[in-house]
Amino acid sequence: MNSPTQREKVEIYDTTLRDGAQGPGIKFSTDDQIRVIHTLDNLGIHYIEAGQPASNPKAEQIFIKAKQLNLKHSKVVAFGSTRHPKSRIDEDPNINALLRAETEIITIFAKTSALHVTEVLGVPLEENLRIIEESVSYLQKHGRKVFLDAEHFFDGYDLNPEYALQTLKVALDNGAELLVLCDTNGGHLPHQVGKITQKVIETFPNIPVGIHTHNDTGCAVANSLSAVHAGARHVQGTINGYGERTGNANLCTLIPNLQFKMGFDVISEEQMKKLTYTAHLIAELANVAPKDSDPYVGRDAFTHKAGMHADAVRKTKSSYEHIDPECIGNLTHIAVSELSGRANLIQKAKELGIHLDKDSPQVRKLLQRIKALETEGYEFEGADASFELELLKTMGLYKPSFQVLSFHARVNQWAMDRHAESEATVKIQLPDNSIAHTVANGDGPVDALNNAIRKALEPYFPELKNVHLEDYKVRILNGQRATKSKTRVLIESSDENQQWCTVGVSENIITASFTALIDSIYYKLYKCDKAQISNEEIT
């Protein structure tokens, strides 16, 4: 087996926007796709597969937009199949769509299993070799670097190893620059993947080999690591392991395992610190709840219950933590019991620059408040602004700049007209005790409420004009209750200096949205007041 020497490089190829998007319930808008690309670029991912341009017109649009992106670390890749058996290479719709994407690199998948060639593709084995030859050669002659995804390679090798290897040789002979071995059915185990990968590397020495695994046996990450141990230096996967059926290899587990456990050079230390943020952000964009139990990036990955574990971690973190969670942007959590909950709150307050005494009644009161809110469905992992406000209010360090007396939103919909009219009313008591009573329209009730709030407050607080709503996410918490389900709303806001996230929970989606909106404004005004006090102290 090969082993890393002098920090060998392993390339990471992300296919979240293609393979990952095939996972149940996952759908990215074009704006979401652009944000995913930027996020992966910031993480230092080497290749980003942006989709299959021949699949639909929307898929082609992402490549048009990608050309305008100023990526620092990543290369965008187009993905597609070899030519159709009944098409001429120069007339094949898929091949032409790949060329129109104008990416430097094109990944094409080819049949490498004799069973799939004859029974699925429906052509003789020799014809499949000609299809691979023409497809790779044609793209290469048009100035593209070609990566070959050897579909069903491990199954094909088990059935007919000579033919599986022959498909790789044809691709190499016609200009393919990388051979990616795919466990498409996800049915192999690490010792099998390692052995077959090693055989390919021995057959084609000095040729880059990659690995692409699926998680049907729960071994996608282990299989990928086994392939790397055997000599593969290119790993494909998805953020959070998203993908069809049981998913793909999880890059959020693979990347730190490769770097911290196997000693490879994958991404920089600063980029690694963005791993947890990347995992959670892409989960939000996919509208999929992050798995608390995920290795490295999960909320519970470094969570310790009260007792021996928690006490040991407070004394020596390495006693029950295999790496420093801050290396991957995560945190140690001391959870569950009242004592451990206090430790967690004290740690969080320390991050915010607030000193708390663990035995103070304020800490006990804050702990009870946070636990009560979490019981209602609040989640502060991605809503630090709301958490900071709760902490400050409980500690008596914050008083709201204004008070909401009432709000109302309605939607007028006429049966024969698809256009709906939304109107909102808010009544707010301002700092001078005057009452602002405003009405506004909007594109939906939440937009109308936001406009009514702005209309009431901006004359008094002009700094709110710089606040923009960046993202709005809705999650149903207990779907089995159908229309009575609780809703959690996360709102991400920004100004010229920073971004912050707030949360609201209610059976009424309008109330949940209003709570998150108001918290966003409270937080902005609090930060402005704090900055003003700091400036006065300096002068």
Per-residue pLDDT band at 339 (split at 50, 70, 90): very low
Taking residue 406's Cβ as centre, other Cβ atoms within 10 Å add up to: 9
Q: Which of 283, 280, 287 is nearest to 331 (CA)?
A: 280
Judge contact between 53 and 101, C-beta under 8 A.
yes
The bridge status of strand 47-49 relative to strand 420-429 is unpaired
Give the pLDDT confidence score for residue 536 in this predicted structure: 42
What are the residues whose beta carbons fall under 8 Å from the beta carbon of 416, sequence distance 6 or more?
A: none
Phi, psi of 8 (to 5 degrees): -60, 150
Give the pLDDT confidence score for residue 284 in this predicted structure: 84
How far, in Å, CA of 500 to CA of 493, rounded?
Answer: 5
Domains, the chain, ordered by start: 11-267 (3.20.20.70), 303-394 (no CATH), 402-460 (3.30.160.740)
Place of tokens 């708390």: 356
User: Is the confidence at residue 499, as pLDDT, over 60?
Assistant: yes
Q: Give the sign of the dihedral formed by CA 352, CA 356, CA 362, CA 364.
A: positive
User: Is the confidence at residue 539, as pLDDT, over 50?
Assistant: no
Q: Which of 472, 485, 478, 468 is nearest to 513 (CA)?
A: 472
How far, in Å, CA of 251 to CA of 248, rounded?
Answer: 9
User: Is the confidence at residue 335, as pLDDT, over 70?
Assistant: no
How far, in Å, CA of 389 to CA of 377, rounded?
Answer: 17
Tell whether pTM > 0.75.
no
Lowest-pLDDT range, 56-70, 121-135, 190-204, 339-353? 339-353
User: Is the confidence at residue 482, as pLDDT, over 80?
Assistant: no
Judge contact between 422 and 442, C-beta under 8 A.
yes
Give the pLDDT confidence score for residue 173 in this predicted structure: 96
User: Is the confidence at residue 350, as pLDDT, over 80?
Assistant: no
How far, in Å, CA of 24 to CA of 26, rounded?
Answer: 6
Helix (H, G, I), strand (E, B) or coil at 183: strand
How far, in Å, CA of 442 to CA of 447, rounded?
Answer: 5
Give per-residue pLDDT as tens, 92-134. Answer: 999 999 999 999 999 999 999 999 999 999 999 999 999 999 9
Average model confidence (pLDDT) for the chain?
87
User: Is the confidence at residue 14, as pLDDT, over 80?
Assistant: yes
How far, in Å, CA of 526 to CA of 532, rounded?
Answer: 10
Helix (H, G, I), strand (E, B) or coil at 468: strand
User: Is the confidence at residue 471, as pLDDT, over 90?
Assistant: no
Helix (H, G, I), strand (E, B) or coil at 327: helix
What are the residues whose beta carbons fall under 8 Å from the beta carbon of 91, sequence distance 6 or more?
A: none
User: Is the confidence at residue 176, as pLDDT, over 70?
Assistant: yes
Give the pLDDT confidence score for residue 302 in this predicted structure: 72
